[in-house]
Amino acid sequence: MWLVVLAFIAICIAMRPALPWLVTYPSSWLLPVPSIINSVFGFLIPLLKPICAVLAIILRAALDACSAALQWMPWPAMILFFAILGWLARGWQLALFTAVGLGYVVMAGYWEQGMNTLSLVTLAVPLAVGFGFLLGVAAHSSRYVRGITMVVLDLLQTVPAFAFLIPLLLLFGFGPIVGLIACLVYAVAPMVHCTMLGLERVPPSLLEAASMAGCTRRQRFWHVILPTAKREILTGINQTTMAAFSMVIMAAIIGGFNDVGWEVLNSMRKAEFGQSLLSGLVIAVLAMVVDRITFGMAQPARDRTQTTLRNGLRMAVILGLPLFVAFLLNASPSTMAWADKAQGVIDPSGLNRVVIRFVQDFSAPLDAFKVFVLYHFMLPLRIGLVGAVTPFTWGFAWTFQVSTIYCGLSLSLAVWLWFRGQWQGGAGVLIGSTLLLLGFNGFPWPAFVIVVTALAWSVSGARLASLAGLGTCFIVGAGLYGPLGQSLYLCLLAVLICMFVGGLLGVAAAKSDRFSAVLKPVCDALQTMPQFIFLIPALMFFQVGELTGLIAIALYAIVPPIRYVEYGIRSVPADLVETSRQIGCTAWQRLIHVELPVAKPVVVLGANQTIMAALSMLPVAALVGTKDLGQQVYIALSKADAGLGLVAGLSVALVAMISDRIMRATVSNTGGALD
């Protein structure tokens, strides 16, 4: 089959000069998808608007009440309250961590905004948990519901939030409610997944026993299934909270509310690195505090005694104490004013000066690095070797002879691989070298569709192939082949860099406990802090352009390979390691011949997560001027064209889903199982 594919590609390339539509999709063939979506919205929105308006009013009132309550508590009382919660959940270490973390929020001067963020999350999480739980139960009990739910969840997690912003704005009007709903929609998914997992893991024997004991359906659900699945459900609540925190910044872009997300955006707008780092850390700190507390509560209680009246009383006193302190502080404004002096004592502008000084001193080497990467890695992938190799960049021109030598080399490599029995490798070399020759911008789209479909077919079969074929046709048909090429080339480079660097870091972390301990908080911070923050120094060092976008994507997407490679190598069975040592392997031989092959399924899963992370960064990279699918979402936003925005968002989701399915199928072919 691959022979046919190769022949097709060859024909496409040969016909390129004669038929220019092979490279640039003709605008007269565009599918009218955006206008169809728009007319559907035009019909739906007037119907849904009254319901949504009522919902918005209720949510708004709840949000106002929530933030008023949090604002009423003076910050010392609030810190006391959280510290006590931490103490109840995990002991004094967590109490100390909580107090220090929240103390930082005060000293950074973002207490008020922090509490608004917290109220947004406090409101979003119970709703998301409620919906998620119900959906999870429904999906568990019916195959039909399950199928639909899984597709919807995939879409919710991969379509960039900006894409469904316009319909949300039309339905709910302006204000924090739109942001709240975006948070909620995004945070539902982990809850559903965890609920389903928990319900599936209930052992059948237990259900049997319950039926024999004469339970009714309802009794069985409440007294047998739920307590057994409790652990997963609690993990789900924890994950939902984290997801809600990670959406706070998007909520700020959408809704706008006096919260930390808005502060991060403002400092991003002013290109103030210090302030943005400071406010970004506030989100990370809040997320970590809530994460540790909810995680602590989700752990099975070690020595929790029965809740007797006396225990309840003690609890009431402990939780009542902060309230009492709050009353005292509110009654005496002078004490509060004295305490308020601690607010905003950290001044981050020094950091801004450091960045500027760095640019001043190192602009020449930074420029040299940028030019080197652009000429040798980015341009060849984008416009192909044909366009990128000029005397100005590489020192020689891309003449006919060079072209012949290049083609001859790749052909002979492919033939050699073929004779060694690795025909997949041979086909891969041919397609890869063609891509490199022409670049993503010059690769004919029919060839692209065929390659993706054939790949899906060969790893999994007709079902995946039809998804891949239809999906790519949809993207091309919507006229997004150009931005798609841009996105793919940025993501591909980012993923390669991340897998290489992150893989090395992961191996190092697996070999050294100390290095692992240093790396962990760095990874945590890279993932919980709003990604916007890294854009500012990257911009100052490398200017607006694709290299800056690439760096931003790579910084975020480097975390999964580190984590998965470390985990994979660490979980290689000890007896295997011991055997290899006994037969006299050196450390490198052991790594290459024993540990990496055994860890392969986990590493591939890590690669999959890296691709997802890179794709999710596309809208962020668009803020530094890339021309990818993320930029299309913004352009649609500026035109308030709901259809166009959704189509661009769906395209990102389709790329994510197709690559995810192909990766999963590859792993299950090689015998591993993905979870």
Partner 1 sequence: MIGRKIALWTLPLAAGLAIAPPAIAKPLGDTDTSIKIAINEWTGQNLSAHIAGKLLEKLGYKVEYITAGTLPQFTGIASGSLSVSPEVWPSNLGDVYPKAKAEGKLEEIGELGLDTKDGWLYTADTKTVCPQLPDWTALKDPACVQALATPETFPNGRLLDYPADWGSASGPELKNAEIPFTPVPAGSEGALVAELQAAVAAHKPLLMRFWAPHWVLAEVPVEWLKMPPCDEKNLAECIVAPPVIKVVWAGFHEKWPAGYELMKSLQIHADDQQKMIYAVDKQGKNLDQAVDGWIEEHQSDWQAWVKAAQN
Which residues of this protein are in contact with partner 1, per CB under 8 A? 165-166, 169-170, 173-175, 253, 255-257, 262, 265, 268-271, 356-357, 359-360, 363, 370-371, 374-375, 379, 392-393, 535-536, 539-541, 543-546, 622-627, 631, 634-635, 637-641
Q: At its nearest, how many Å lie between partner 1 and the CB of residue 72?
A: 21
Pick the closer one to partner 1 by CB: 258 or 410.
258
Pick the closer one to partner 1 by CB: 372 or 419.
372
Pick the closer one to partner 1 by CB: 256 or 446.
256
| CA–CA separation, 5 and 327 (whole Å) | 75
Provide the 10 A C-beta neighbour count for residue 156: 17
Q: At its nearest, how many Å lie between partner 1 and the CB of residue 189?
A: 26
Pick the closer one to partner 1 by CB: 98 or 275.
275
Are the CB atoms for 179 and 257 separated by under 8 Å? Answer: yes
Pick the closer one to partner 1 by CB: 256 or 672.
256
Q: At its nearest, how many Å lie between partner 1 and the CB of residue 269?
A: 5
Q: At its nearest, how many Å lie between partner 1 and the CB of residue 560?
A: 25
Buried b (16+ CB within 10 A) or exposed e, 291-308: bbbbbbebeeeeeeeeee
What are the DSSP calls for 538-566, one per residue? HHHHH-SSHHHHHHHHHHHHTHHHHHHHH
Pick the closer one to partner 1 by CB: 222 or 362.
362
Pick the closer one to partner 1 by CB: 69 or 356.
356
For the record, the structure tokens of 44 come out as 């739906």
Q: At its nearest, how many Å lie between partner 1 and the CB of residue 355?
A: 9
Q: At its nearest, how many Å lie between partner 1 and the CB of residue 354?
A: 12
Helix axes 273-298, 513-528, angle to 10 degrees: 110
Are the CB atoms for 215 and 224 separated by under 8 Å? Answer: yes
Provide the 10 A C-beta neighbour count for residue 58: 11
What are the DSSP calls for 588-625, one per residue? HHHIIIIIHHHHHHHHHHHHHHHHHHHHHTHHHHGGGT
Q: What is the DSSP letter of 478?
A: T
Three-state DSSP state, 583: coil
Are the CB atoms for 210 and 224 separated by under 8 Å? Answer: yes
Pick the closer one to partner 1 by CB: 344 or 428.
344
Q: At its nearest, how many Å lie between partner 1 and the CB of residue 359?
A: 5
Pick the closer one to partner 1 by CB: 71 or 335.
71
| CA–CA separation, 478 and 632 (whole Å) | 12
For the record, the structure tokens of 502 come out as 């992150």
Three-state DSSP state, 444: coil
Q: At its nearest, how many Å lie between partner 1 and the CB of residue 631?
A: 6
Are the CB atoms for 291 and 242 separated by under 8 Å? Answer: yes
Are the CB atoms for 622 and 633 separated by under 8 Å? Answer: yes
For the record, the structure tokens of 644 come out as 């166009």
Three-state DSSP state, 300: coil
Pick the closer one to partner 1 by CB: 375 or 515.
375
Q: At its nearest, how many Å lie between partner 1 and the CB of residue 262?
A: 7
* Angle (nearest 5°) at CA 24 between 22 and 27: 110
Q: At its nearest, how many Å lie between partner 1 and the CB of residue 561?
A: 27
The phi, psi pair for 396, rounded to 5°, reads: -145, 160
Q: At its nearest, how many Å lie between partner 1 and the CB of residue 176?
A: 8
Nearest of 481, 488, 475 to residue 378 by alpha carbon: 488
Pick the closer one to partner 1 by CB: 472 or 548.
548
Pick the closer one to partner 1 by CB: 507 or 642.
642
Pick the closer one to partner 1 by CB: 11 or 355.
355
| CA–CA separation, 106 and 429 (whole Å) | 57
| CA–CA separation, 403 and 385 (whole Å) | 9
Pick the closer one to partner 1 by CB: 11 or 48.
48
Which residues are CB-neighbours of 477 under 8 A, at least 6 positions away?
25, 29, 30, 31, 33
Q: At its nearest, how many Å lie between partner 1 and the CB of residue 391?
A: 12
Are the CB atoms for 63 and 120 separated by under 8 Å? Answer: yes
Q: At its nearest, how many Å lie between partner 1 and the CB of residue 166?
A: 8
Which residues are CB-neighbours of 319 under 8 A, at least 6 positions away?
81, 84
| CA–CA separation, 536 and 605 (whole Å) | 31
Nearest of 568, 382, 409, 597 to residue 489 by alpha carbon: 382
Round the CA-based radius of gyration of the chain to a whole number and report it: 28
Pick the closer one to partner 1 by CB: 314 or 376.
376
Which residues are CB-neighbours of 215 under 8 A, at least 6 positions away?
223, 224
| CA–CA separation, 126 and 418 (whole Å) | 58
Q: At its nearest, how many Å lie between partner 1 and the CB of residue 388?
A: 10
Q: At its nearest, how many Å lie between partner 1 and the CB of residue 625?
A: 4
Pick the closer one to partner 1 by CB: 295 or 541.
541
| CA–CA separation, 118 and 114 (whole Å) | 6
Q: At its nearest, how many Å lie between partner 1 and the CB of residue 267?
A: 8
Could you identify the residue written with the tokens 């402990």?
318
